[in-house]
Chains A and B, each alone.
Chain A
Amino acid sequence: MDLLLSADSTGDKLITMVAAIILFVAVMGVLLFAVDRPRNVPSWLVFLAFVGPAALLLLWGLIRPAILTIYQSFFDRRGETFVGLDNFVALATSNDLRSVLVNTIIWVLIVPVAATFLGLLYAVVVDRSPVEALAKALIFLPMAISLVGASIIWRFVYEYKADIGDIQQIGLLNQILVWLGQEPYQFLLNGPWNTFFLIVVFIWVQTGFAMTILSAAIKAIPDDVTEAARLDGVTGMQMFRHITVPGIRPALVVVLTTIAIGTLKVFDIVRTMTGGNYGTSVVANEFYTQAFRQSNAGLGAALATILFVLVVPIVVYNVRQMRISEDVR
């Protein structure tokens, strides 16, 4: 048991991992064996054995904590004194915290639109190209990279060196500025544009996702429709506006909303690029800072609640769109 709780050498860790997996499989095995063996186990008991473990985990680890957090958002930093709406009032009135909300809104307005636009553009221009598969893979690969990794890749692009003597730039973007005869620029330090340079990283990651979904949707447009339009002498741009876009409208909505939901929760990029400093913090990052760095449980809970409140309408809209398009089919 001791080993299962504290493993510090590599060997111990691997043993712990294997032991945990075996333990899990054994428990599930016994459970299934117990309900399967005897002839007349009531059917509700079998159902419970199949659904029970997942349901228990969700109840304990998702539903209960969510309720507790919303409750806690009405309490002070130590979670002891009831303070009513004070935490939310602080969010709306304190300058620093208000800029967190404003940044979050900027993120959620720009990222989905930009990533969807670029993804759609790319999907259209590489559609049916002989190197389509390779071309798509290039754009799609950032999705497999962690946001921490993506942040480091882009910090390197933005890297700044003061322009003194014969010091050379090692960040690509500043080198391009120097080649163009400009002064190097502190991309991550100078507000308000630094938020925009963080946003670029997430667009870079999300475009592949948009491109893949939209490309599949484009290919699902029936051929006779496009052929008929072509025979009528429709030009490329008209085809795009009157055939392609209406044909993939449901997919567009789903891509936009899904990226919007992901954008609201983005935390790794802000934390890795600037740590939320220089006026770049967003709700998901500020939540972590307040709850686990500043030990302000009340404000942390309020930020998490805000996140929840922001996400809900988008998810509801997303699901309704899916329903509608399924009905149509």
Chain B
Amino acid sequence: MSTTDREQGFTTSAASAPGVKAGDFVDPAVSGGGSRTGTVPRSAKAKKRLTNPGASLIAIVLAVLWTIPTFGLVLSSIRPEIQTKTTGWWTFPLDPQVTVNNYNLVLYGGQNNFASYFINSLVITLPAVIIPITLALLAAYAFAWMDFPGRDALFVGVFALQIVPIQVTLIPLLRDYNDAGLAGSFWPIWLSHSIFALPLAIFLLHNFMKDIPKSLIEAARVDGAGHVKIFFQVLMPLLTPAIAAFGVFQFLWVWNDLLVALTFGSPDTFPLTERLASLVGSRGSEWHVLTAGAVISIIVPLIVFLSLQRFFVRGLLAGSVKG
């Protein structure tokens, strides 16, 4: 998610936003399908709604305002350089010419070389999603299902860490990475993203784990299963939707991040966002390059977001069946 802020979208939380049930948030796609069971049939209500032209007008105006800027960018990225630079994209129908040159130029053209920055984004993102989720799952399990003196106080402490803005940590961390000789490699970026993700990940996964019926865990324990076995064989399959949900958020956060990449990165490790941002600085009017570059950086998070939405839906349905 594009957000500077991981909490967004999630703290507000899937699990804890008032009046919002765990999965509700996730799914612009399902919520239309409605969990309402009113006395009036849905279709009748829908008709009532539609008869209000004012509401429809507002909806259309907002939807257009929200879509046009992106549409203009995407259309410009496939117009020839000279056209993009001299005429507005809205003149496209007057002289429709389409090219992939901008993309070739951005991906493989000498200086830009987005292909290699794309790889960097990928190399940064995968470990920075897998590591914190794994660590958070283990910690969340312990906080939910193990007895330990001071456990609850410790959990509140972890929860409270969400208030620390990452800016507060950057200067000392950079010094440490330099001292340890890690500077310029991917390690500082992986480590930092993992650390920054932990408080929220532990909190959310803990909430999901607490929802699993205690009897399941106890039955396994009676059968002689240890914590490790319970964790992998009983809990993991049930937690897949929660893991997928947090995974998408962490993926979007890391893929779209600029601050961590700028602070700890080097020319060898910079991701797409850094490359795009610096292109704006150095070649801010080369719109054929900028538009194509922006589309390349946007496409992966969009695909991930849209395709994993279904995962969310399944998680939502499973949750509501459980009641």
- Tell me which residues across on chain B come within 8 A of A50, comparing CB atoms: 138-139, 141-142, 146, 227
B153 within 8 A of A: no
- Tell me which residues across on chain B come within 8 A of A303, comparing CB atoms: 167
The minimal Cβ–Cβ distance linking A240 to chain B, given in whole angstroms, is: 11
B241 within 8 A of A: no
8 Å CB contacts to B: which residues of A45-67? 46-47, 49-51, 53-55, 57-58, 60-66
B213 within 8 A of A: no
Residue of A nearest to B115 (CB): A10
What's the Cα separation between A207 and B226 when bound, in Å?
46
Contact of A130 among B46, B88, B190, B276 (CB under 8 A): B46
> Majority SS of interface residues in chain B?
helix
A97 within 8 A of B: no
- Tell me which residues across on chain B come within 8 A of A326, comparing CB atoms: 16, 18
- Tell me which residues across on chain B come within 8 A of A261, comparing CB atoms: 5, 7
- Tell me which residues across on chain A come within 8 A of B263, comparing CB atoms: 288, 292
- Tell me which residues across on chain B come within 8 A of A266, comparing CB atoms: 4
- Tell me which residues across on chain B come within 8 A of A46, comparing CB atoms: 146, 227
Residues A125 and B168 in contact, CB atoms below 8 Å apart = no
Q: Scoring B residues 80 to 96 as 1 if CB is less than 8 Å from chain A, else 0, what string do you get?
A: 00001111111100000
B185 within 8 A of A: yes
Given contacts A219-B31, A220-B20, A258-B8, contact A146 B2 (CB under 8 A): yes
Contact of A216 among B24, B33, B88, B190 (CB under 8 A): B24
Residues B187 and A125 in contact, CB atoms below 8 Å apart = no
Residues B66 and A207 in contact, CB atoms below 8 Å apart = yes
> Majority SS of interface residues in chain A?
helix
A83 within 8 A of B: no
- Tell me which residues across on chain A come within 8 A of B50, comparing CB atoms: 129-130
What's the Cα separation between A215 and B116 when bound, in Å?
40
Residues B139 and A268 in contact, CB atoms below 8 Å apart = no
B195 within 8 A of A: yes
Given contacts A55-B139, A172-B72, contact A219 B34 (CB under 8 A): yes
Given contacts A315-B163, A325-B19, contact A61 B192 (CB under 8 A): yes
- Tell me which residues across on chain A come within 8 A of B52, comparing CB atoms: 236
Residues B66 and A307 in contact, CB atoms below 8 Å apart = no
- Tell me which residues across on chain B come within 8 A of A169, comparing CB atoms: 88
- Tell me which residues across on chain B come within 8 A of A69, comparing CB atoms: 168-169, 171-172
- In the assembled complex, 30 residue pairs joining A and B whose CB atoms fall closer than 8 Å, in A order, are A13-B120, A24-B131, A35-B228, A36-B227, A36-B228, A43-B148, A46-B146, A57-B194, A62-B169, A65-B169, A72-B171, A125-B55, A132-B31, A133-B28, A133-B31, A137-B28, A144-B298, A146-B258, A148-B256, A149-B298, A152-B293, A154-B69, A212-B25, A212-B31, A213-B25, A217-B20, A227-B38, A288-B259, A304-B168, A311-B163
